[in-house]
């Protein structure tokens, strides 16, 4: 009932209000609803929604899975998702970094997945090092398996004190927040893919799982082709993290990969819409690391690009991060700055020497492009609003 109400009121996709009411009535609702299930939690700055969907698909090999598709990743969203499938023996939950300690305490996960950690919405989420410390404490209490990305220094520091860690070399990490060691503060030194602190013993652990270009290698040295439908190196990283987590729950790797391979559209992301003679591919990017990866994906072809920026609470109201994104890569391409904060973006593009025009409404921006393929990259609320309007 309240879920319908939430949808009617336009409060997201109806994932939140039911859970909020349930948590008011029973503050232990999350602990009760996870009790007796095998729970996997997925957190990190980028790729949570995609990895959660991939992992839930893979785990469905074992039985019914309750999951919070669509990014309602706080405890009320978890309660809603779990209430909808009370009999599912497995739960795969995407968890906001800030709520991770609370959810770990309530859900006692069999598997906890930590993808990556980088700067994101500093006015809302807080500073990376603070998040790393709180995740470190939470992960140390996990009695199940922790699946962690050893190419990310912050992740390694957060996961290292856990009893049972499976290390995955994803080949991805945002190093601009980790020049100094999160443990002792001394500089980190890189040598090829290996990194180590110059002051203490924090160093890249030996990975059990390895991500290659288009394939993964299991702890037994078996090479498995990924052949993903989702683009980009970061989705290969998400896939290998999901496969490693699924293996920890007992899913054979071939079965896992076969299922996550089919993922092609994650809460509207990566889907293509047809509009006014355009084929517009919708891409979500929320922070510098995400934008940097997405700009690499759109580089594969020279299509015109519409970039959409908002700055609501959920996006982070401080747009300084636009200057951490290498927009210089779009030089020579047809670009439209769009969204409520199109002008902030336009100034960034001016100094990046990327020619552009400003069309604040993203649908009109698509219309203004020459017919054919268009890449549309939007941040959080901009993407959510565009996706909803495109569906109408």
Q: Which residues are catalytic?
A: 318
**How deeply is 277 buried, as exposed, middle or buried, from its count of CB atoms within 10 A (0-12, 13-18, 19+)?**
exposed
Whose Cβ is closer to other proteins: residue 193's or residue 355's?
355
Q: Contact, 280 vs 366, CB < 8 A? A: yes
CA-to-CA dists, residue 364 to 95, 275, 367, 371, angstroms: 35, 10, 5, 13
Of these, 323, 372, 388, 389, which contacts other proteins (CB under 8 A)? 323
Of these, 10, 35, 343, 388, which contacts other proteins (CB under 8 A)? 343
The SS3 of residue 127 is coil
As a whole number of angstroms, the distance between CA 214 and CA 51 comes to: 16
**How deeply is 215 buried, as exposed, middle or buried, from its count of CB atoms within 10 A (0-12, 13-18, 19+)?**
middle
Radius of gyration of the chain (CA): 21
Give the orientation angle of helix 128-140 with respect to helix 100-107, to 10 degrees: 10
Of these, 143, 164, 176, 264, which contacts other proteins (CB under 8 A)? 176
**Rule CB under 8 A: is residue 361 a binding residue for other proteins?**
no
Closest distance of CB 343 from other proteins, Å: 5
Q: Which stretch, 24-32, 257-265, 302-310, 349-357, contacts other proteins (CB under 8 A)?
A: 349-357
**Rule CB under 8 A: is residue 354 a binding residue for other proteins?**
no
**Rule CB under 8 A: is residue 129 a binding residue for other proteins?**
yes
Q: Which stretch, 13-21, 115-123, 220-228, 380-388, contacts other proteins (CB under 8 A)?
A: 115-123
Task: List the binding residues for Zn(2+).
Answer: 181, 184, 197, 200
Whose Cβ is closer to other proteins: residue 131's or residue 240's?
131
CA-to-CA dists, residue 211 to 47, 58, 67, angstroms: 16, 17, 25
**Rule CB under 8 A: is residue 190 a binding residue for other proteins?**
no
Binding-site ranges for other proteins (CB under 8 A) = 119, 122-123, 127-130, 176, 179-180, 185, 187, 189, 198, 317-324, 343-344, 346-353, 358
């Amino acid at each position: 009932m309240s879920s319908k109400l939430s949808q009617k009121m336009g409060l997201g996709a109806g994932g939140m209000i039911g859970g909020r009411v349930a948590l008011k009535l029973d503050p232990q609702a999350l602990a009760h609803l996870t009790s007796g299930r095998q729970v996997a939690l997925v957190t990190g700055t980028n790729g949570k929604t995609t990895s959660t969907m991939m992992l839930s698909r893979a785990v469905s090999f074992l039985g019914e899975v309750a999951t919070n598709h669509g990014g309602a990743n706080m405890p009320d969203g978890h309660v809603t998702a779990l209430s909808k499938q009370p009999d599912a023996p497995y739960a795969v939950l995407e968890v906001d970094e800030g709520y991770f300690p609370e959810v770990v305490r309530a859900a006692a996960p069999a598997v906890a997945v930590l993808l990556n950690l980088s700067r994101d919405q500093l006015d809302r989420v807080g500073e990376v090092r603070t998040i790393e410390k709180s995740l470190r404490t939470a992960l140390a209490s996990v009695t199940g398996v922790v699946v962690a990305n050893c190419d990310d220094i912050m992740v390694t520091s957060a996961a290292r004190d856990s009893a049972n860690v499976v290390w995955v070399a994803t080949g991805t990490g945002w190093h601009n927040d980790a020049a100094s060691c999160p443990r002792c503060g001394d500089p980190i030194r890189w040598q090829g893919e290996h990194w180590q602190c110059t002051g203490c013993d924090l160093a890249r652990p030996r990975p059990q799982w390895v991500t290659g270009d288009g394939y993964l290698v299991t702890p037994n040295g078996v090479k498995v082709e990924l052949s993903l439908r989702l683009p980009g190196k970061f989705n290969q990283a998400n896939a290998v993290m999901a496969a490693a987590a699924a293996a920890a729950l007992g899913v054979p790797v071939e079965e896992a990969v076969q299922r996550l391979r089919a993922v092609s559209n994650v809460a509207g992301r990566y889907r293509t819409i047809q509009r006014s003679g355009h084929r517009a591919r919708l891409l979500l990017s929320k922070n510098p690391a995400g934008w940097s990866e997405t700009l690499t994906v759109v580089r594969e072809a020279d299509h015109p690009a519409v970039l959409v920026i908002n700055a609501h609470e959920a996006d982070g109201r401080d747009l300084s991060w636009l200057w951490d994104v290498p927009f210089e890569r779009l030089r020579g391409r047809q670009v439209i700055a769009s969204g409520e904060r199109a002008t902030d973006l336009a100034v960034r593009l001016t100094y990046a020497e990327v020619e552009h025009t400003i069309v604040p409404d993203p649908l009109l921006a698509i219309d203004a492009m020459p017919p054919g393929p268009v890449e549309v990259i939007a941040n959080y609320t901009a993407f959510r609003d565009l996706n909803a309007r495109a569906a109408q």
